[in-house]
């Protein structure tokens, strides 16, 4: 690779790359993101390479391993260009047919295209699939178009044009003004104005300043930053460089969690390639601007996603938050002005510069501009990453894009914002998704985790789950967080075990208030949110646990019993044989009865009981009915009772 | 350094720029309770007992006095219903660990904290970090540190350093606000416990041999 020493040379290279590529040449894009790899994408990729060679198409077909396009539920995802035919859940054995039919004959392999689970309606093109059609994919849409390990792919879609633009056609103040005008707010949790943060750092005294990418994504069930860093690492680098130029920094860090090996690898490769092209290092594009980036791998502490804890960890110390009465933008890493933004925030920057603040702020609401990526997980048909304009309703995300709740079950709540967020009930499904709207409802945007829960989810147990996560992930430095959560978790555990007391709810609220008011960092201050929001919207569930010793969702093990309905049991012996605890008594033609003392409540009997019988059920809050008499337990004739 | 004027509990107080609310209050004879603060050590902000209410540019917020820098015209209230409620809860949470610590008992009396509000915990340690920070900042030995996170966080002496340094020093023991014996116990435990796997050539008896 030759060093690019001017913006003209960059454009010339871009043209040269384009001239080498015939847009009519078939290209097989295979998602090699973490989700698809887990579903066997590596084998599919190998199968394509082998088959293309076998059919002698190497010269006529390109293949591309890309980042995550978002539809993880139906991975591995394969898109065939130029037609953009989208094949889902592709297996290695499907590959010969795709190669001979689609690549050679230009025919669609019907059984691999999207079919609507309810209507059966098919969608051949990526853009026709409802999951994609209802999104606005400004950021993540590029993932399927590039191989993250090839900088030329990024250049081919216009990469680094925004960098060249700021270096040669905009002053730092102009960049700052543009980002401020866009209304971009931090995508990592707090939703602080990105432009104002940059400005604070730019105005802060000192010659050495830093810009940092927060890729310590740790919310349970969240993977949007991972997909961006794995799938389009150059867009993050470009955003970071533009920020550095605006702030006056020459050094940047990418703090990425060790648990994201593909992200670490791809971003490291990207940095290497950018250096070779002279897009990183000294005198970038001949502009006189110097910038270097180092990758710092985090050791797996959730609290290090908090800005001051992340910076302490960057310094090589144990990652504990420190008091932020002086903003880290003024006094951050090694006490120097440091701008820390989340991966997704940085990814937005090149787009804002390239297309303008006006274009960016066309999407969204008055106070929340642009798009936001959510990881839609839990009890939802279409698990995956969705990018939507701010202001869309929760209902449109969950039903319009997510395809609703599986198994015909009823929606109960959606948890947004991870352990710092809250659970929102059905009555708020039409809430507009925005920073302030979610906060007012008792939840928060957070980094974009969205966990959907159905009627079988116990909200007390959800609150307990998040606290259980946080008592391990709190750094343990300050009392309201460490000790307050220790007690909150004890109380919640007690309630889910049927040992709750009437006064527990008031005590939980008191502990929450002190943690929110007096904790040292945002982790402790926001830790009560899952608890408080479930208390606000699902108080009746808490009360049922405490007063009637009943779990309305039939989920808390200590409060439920499995029971075989003697009128429905046909003594088929299936549950009896499958019960791992040997807790089922019965026999051929002898109605089965669960020995409650031996039952471990694993739920196997309920799972295996044939649906035509549906004899096994869960009960809570009422005593288990006594078993029928020996006489009544005998079945005679064709399923008839004696 | 210029003098900054602020109001603490209605009293006009002058303080040097860069000092904390706690220092300013104490210099004016206004007391704010602390557990993790020590004059000879860097402010820590861990116990949050020194939480006070401040009013600045129309906003009221709760801050830790031991680390919050003085600001011009800041209005500070060291006692309020909210502040007292926070302090009472913090004390009740800590009394679950060290119910008999004199420092806690005295404060509990002042704030009406119930010694038995929460079930007792196994460890006396209230994680004020005085021993850890004293050893690091004053003695520069780092013989004692924190291990683990969250509710599993504990103080722990590093056997390799402790065998060499601690028996002649023990200056951290009297700093412990709950129970000096706790520190002694943790120290002894670490010295006599099998050393971690990182030192394969060191056995229990080797470690013992180094004791005076």
pLDDT tens-place string over residues B1-26: 578 999 999 999 999 999 999 999 99
pLDDT 10s digits, A61-80:
999 999 999 999 998 999 99
Angle at A476 between CA A474 and CA A482, to 5 degrees: 80
* pLDDT score recorded for residue B1: 56
pLDDT 10s digits, B117-130:
999 988 888 999 99
* pLDDT score recorded for residue B178: 84
**Where in A345-469 does DSSP place strands (E)?**
371-378, 384-389, 411-416, 422-425, 449-454
* pLDDT score recorded for residue A189: 82
3-state SS assignment for residue A62:
strand
**Rounded average pLDDT over A37-61:** 93
* pLDDT score recorded for residue B198: 47
Q: Does A316 touch chain B (CB under 8 A)?
A: no
**Rounded average pLDDT over B49-56:** 94
Question: Secondary structure of A141-152 in the HEC alphabet?
Answer: HHHHHCCCCCHH
* pLDDT score recorded for residue B201: 41
Chain A residues 537-566 with CB within 8 Å of chain B: none
Would the CB atoms of B48 and A518 count as touching at under 8 Å?
Answer: yes
Would the CB atoms of B62 and A517 count as touching at under 8 Å?
Answer: yes
Q: Which two tokens stand for residue A255?
A: 């703090």
Nearest Cα of chain B lies from the Cα of A486 at a distance, in angstroms, of 6
* pLDDT score recorded for residue B122: 83
> d(Cα A318, Cα B35) in Å, to the nearest integer?
22
3-state SS assignment for residue B33:
coil
Q: Does B140 touch chain A (CB under 8 A)?
A: no
Chain A residues 443-482 with CB within 8 Å of chain B: 470-480, 482
* pLDDT score recorded for residue A120: 87
**Rounded average pLDDT over A258-280:** 96
Domains in chain B, CATH or no CATH each: 3-78 (3.10.20.740), 80-122 (no CATH), 130-209 (3.30.70)
Band of residue B209 on the pLDDT scale cut at 50, 70, 90: very low
pLDDT 10s digits, B87-141:
999 999 999 999 888 899 999 999 999 999 999 988 888 999 999 999 999 999 9
* pLDDT score recorded for residue B182: 63
Beta-bridge partner residues of A376: A384, A450
Task: Kindly report the average pLDDT of chain A as a whole number.
Answer: 94
How many H-runs (helices) and E-runs (strands) does chain B carry? 7, 7
Are A230 and A266 spatial neighbours (Cβ–Cβ below 8 Å)?
yes
pLDDT 10s digits, A99-145:
999 999 899 999 999 998 878 899 999 889 999 999 999 999 999 88
Are A65 and A30 spatial neighbours (Cβ–Cβ below 8 Å)?
yes
Percentage helix, strand, coil, to 5, in chain A?
45, 15, 40
**Residues near A512 by Cβ (< 8 Å), separated by ≥ 6?**
A484, A488, A528, A531, A532
**How does DSSP classify residue A641?**
E
**Rounded average pLDDT over A208-234:** 94
Would the CB atoms of A480 and B151 count as touching at under 8 Å?
Answer: no
Q: Does B187 touch chain A (CB under 8 A)?
A: no
**Rounded average pLDDT over B29-52:** 95
Q: Which two tokens stand for residue A597?
A: 């003392």
Look at strands A590-594 and B154-157 and give their pairing. Answer: unpaired
> d(Cα B156, Cα B183) in Å, to the nearest integer?
9
Nearest Cα of chain B lies from the Cα of A496 at a distance, in angstroms, of 18
> d(Cα B50, Cα B35) in Å, to the nearest integer?
8
**Which residues of chain B does A473 touch, with a Cβ-Cβ cutoff of 8 Å?**
149-150
**Which residues of chain A does B129 touch, with a Cβ-Cβ cutoff of 8 Å?**
477
Domains in chain A, CATH or no CATH each: 22-132 (3.40.30.10), 159-361 (3.40.50.11540), 371-454 (3.10.20.600), 459-547 (1.20.1440.230), 560-641 (3.30.70.20)
Are B159 and B195 spatial neighbours (Cβ–Cβ below 8 Å)?
yes
> d(Cα A204, Cα B125) in Å, to the nearest integer?
40
pLDDT 10s digits, A351-399:
999 999 999 999 999 999 999 999 999 999 999 999 999 999 999 999 9
Of residues A341 and B203, more confidence is placed in A341
**Which residues of chain A does B93 touch, with a Cβ-Cβ cutoff of 8 Å?**
479-480, 483-484, 486-487
Are B46 and B131 spatial neighbours (Cβ–Cβ below 8 Å)?
no
Rg (CA), chain B: 20
**Which residues of chain A does B43 touch, with a Cβ-Cβ cutoff of 8 Å?**
323
**Rounded average pLDDT over B154-180:** 87
Are A443 and A428 spatial neighbours (Cβ–Cβ below 8 Å)?
no
**Which residues of chain A does B126 touch, with a Cβ-Cβ cutoff of 8 Å?**
479
Segments in A389-503 forming alpha helices (H): 394-395, 435-440, 459-473, 479-496
Q: What is the ipTM of this complex?
A: 0.88
Segments in A157-301 forming alpha helices (H): 161-169, 172-182, 194-203, 224-231, 233-247, 261-276
**Rounded average pLDDT over B188-198:** 59
User: Which residue of A487, A523, A527 is the best one to mutate when testing the B interface, meaning the one whose CB has the most B CBs within 10 A?
Assistant: A487
**How does DSSP classify residue A68?**
-
3-state SS assignment for residue A201:
helix
**Which residues of chain B does A470 touch, with a Cβ-Cβ cutoff of 8 Å?**
150
Is B189 a residue whose pLDDT tops 80? no
Of all residues in chain B, the percent with pLDDT exceeding 90 is 64
Alpha-carbon torsion angle A47, A52, A55, A61, nearest 10 = 160
Is A560 a residue whose pLDDT tops 70? yes
Q: Does A510 touch chain B (CB under 8 A)?
A: yes
């Amino acid at each position: 690779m030759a060093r690019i020493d001017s913006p003209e040379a960059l454009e010339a290279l871009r043209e040269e790359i384009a001239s080498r590529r015939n847009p009519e040449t078939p290209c097989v894009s295979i998602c090699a993101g973490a989700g698809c790899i887990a579903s066997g994408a590596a084998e599919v990729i190998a199968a394509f390479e082998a088959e293309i060679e076998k059919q002698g198409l190497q010269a006529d077909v390109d293949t591309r391993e890309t980042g995550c396009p978002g539809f993880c539920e139906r991975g591995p995802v394969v898109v065939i260009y130029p037609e953009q035919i989208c094949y889902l859940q592709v297996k290695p054995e499907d590959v010969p047919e795709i190669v001979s039919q689609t690549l050679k004959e230009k025919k669609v392999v019907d059984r691999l295209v999207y079919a609507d689970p309810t209507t059966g309606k098919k969608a051949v093109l990526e853009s026709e699939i409802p999951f994609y059609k209802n999104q606005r994919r400004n950021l993540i849409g590029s993932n399927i178009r590039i191989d993250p390990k090839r900088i030329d792919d990024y250049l081919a879609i216009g990469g680094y044009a925004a960098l060249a633009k700021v270096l040669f056609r905009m002053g730092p103040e102009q960049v700052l003004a543009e980002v401020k005008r866009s209304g971009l707010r931090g995508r990592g949790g707090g939703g602080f104005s990105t432009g104002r943060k940059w400005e604070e750092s730019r105005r802060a005294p000192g010659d050495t300043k830093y810009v940092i990418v927060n890729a310590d994504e740790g919310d349970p069930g969240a993977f949007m930053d991972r997909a961006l860093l794995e799938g389009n690492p150059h867009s993050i680098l470009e955003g970071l460089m533009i920020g550095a130029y605006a702030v006056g920094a020459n050094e940047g860090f990418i703090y990425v969690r060790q648990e994201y090996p593909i992200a670490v690898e791809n971003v490291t490769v990207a940095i290497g390639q950018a250096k070779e092209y002279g897009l990183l290092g000294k005198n970038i594009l001949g502009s006189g601007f110097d910038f270097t980036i180092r990758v710092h791998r985090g050791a797996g502490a959730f609290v290090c996603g908090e800005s001051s804890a992340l910076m302490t960890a960057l310094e090589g110390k144990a990652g504990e938050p420190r008091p932020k009465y002086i903003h880290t933008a003024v006094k951050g890493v090694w006490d120097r002005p440091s701008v820390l933004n989340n991966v997704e925030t940085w990814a937005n920057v090149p787009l804002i510069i390239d297309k303008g603040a006006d274009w960016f702020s066309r999407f969204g609401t008055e106070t929340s501009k642009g798009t936001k990526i959510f990881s839609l997980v839990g009890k939802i048909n279409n698990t995956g990453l969705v990018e939507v304009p701010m202001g869309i309703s929760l209902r449109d995300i969950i039903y319009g894009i997510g395809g609703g709740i599986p198994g015909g079950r009823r929606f109960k709540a959606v948890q947004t914002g991870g352990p710092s967020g809250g659970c929102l009930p059905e009555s708020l499904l039409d809430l507009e998704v925005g920073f302030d709207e979610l906060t007012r409802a008792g939840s928060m945007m957070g980094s974009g985790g969205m966990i959907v829960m159905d009627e079988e989810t116990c909200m007390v147990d959800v609150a307990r789950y998040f606290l259980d996560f946080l008592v391990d992930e709190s750094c343990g430095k300050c009392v309201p967080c460490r000790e307050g959560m220790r007690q909150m978790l004890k109380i919640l555990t007690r309630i889910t075990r049927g040992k709750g007391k009437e006064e527990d709810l008031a005590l939980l609220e008191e502990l929450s208030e002190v943690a929110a008011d007096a904790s040292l960092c945002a982790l402790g201050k926001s830790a009560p949110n899952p608890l408080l929001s479930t208390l606000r919207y699902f108080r009746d569930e808490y009360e049922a646990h405490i007063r009637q010793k009943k779990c309305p969702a039939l989920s808390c093990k200590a409060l439920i019993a499995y029971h075989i309905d003697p009128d429905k049991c046909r003594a088929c012996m299936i549950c009896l044989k499958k019960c791992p605890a040997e807790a089922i008594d019965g026999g051929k033609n002898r109605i089965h009865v669960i020995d409650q003392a031996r039952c471990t409540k694993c739920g196997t009997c309920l799972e295996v009981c044939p649906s035509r019988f549906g004899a096994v059920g869960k009960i809570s809050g009422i005593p288990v009915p006594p078993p029928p008499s020996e006489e009544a337990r005998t079945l005679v004739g064709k399923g008839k009772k004696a | 350094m210029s003098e900054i004027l602020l109001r603490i509990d209605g009293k006009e107080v002058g303080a040097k720029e860069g000092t904390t609310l706690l220092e300013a209050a104490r210099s004016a004879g206004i007391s704010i309770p602390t557990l993790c603060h020590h004059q000879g050590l860097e402010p820590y902000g861990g116990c949050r007992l020194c939480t006070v209410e401040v009013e600045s540019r129309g906003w009221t917020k709760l801050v830790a006095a031991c680390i919050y820098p003085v600001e011009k015209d800041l209005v500070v209230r060291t006692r309020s219903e909210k502040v007292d409620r926070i302090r009472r809860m913090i004390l009740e949470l800590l009394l679950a660990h060290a119910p008999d610590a004199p420092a806690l008992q005295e404060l509990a009396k002042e704030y009406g904290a119930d010694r038995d509000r929460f079930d007792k915990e196994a460890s006396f340690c209230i994680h004020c970090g005085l021993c850890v920070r004293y050893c690091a900042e004053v003695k520069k030995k780092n013989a004692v540190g924190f291990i683990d996170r969250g509710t599993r966080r504990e103080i722990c002496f590093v056997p390799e350093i402790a065998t060499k340094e601690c028996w002649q020093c023990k200056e951290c023991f009297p700093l412990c606000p709950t129970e000096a014996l706790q520190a002694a116990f943790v120290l002894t435990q670490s010295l006599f416990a099998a050393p971690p796997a990182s030192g394969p050539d060191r056995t229990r008896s080797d470690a013992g041999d180094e004791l005076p």
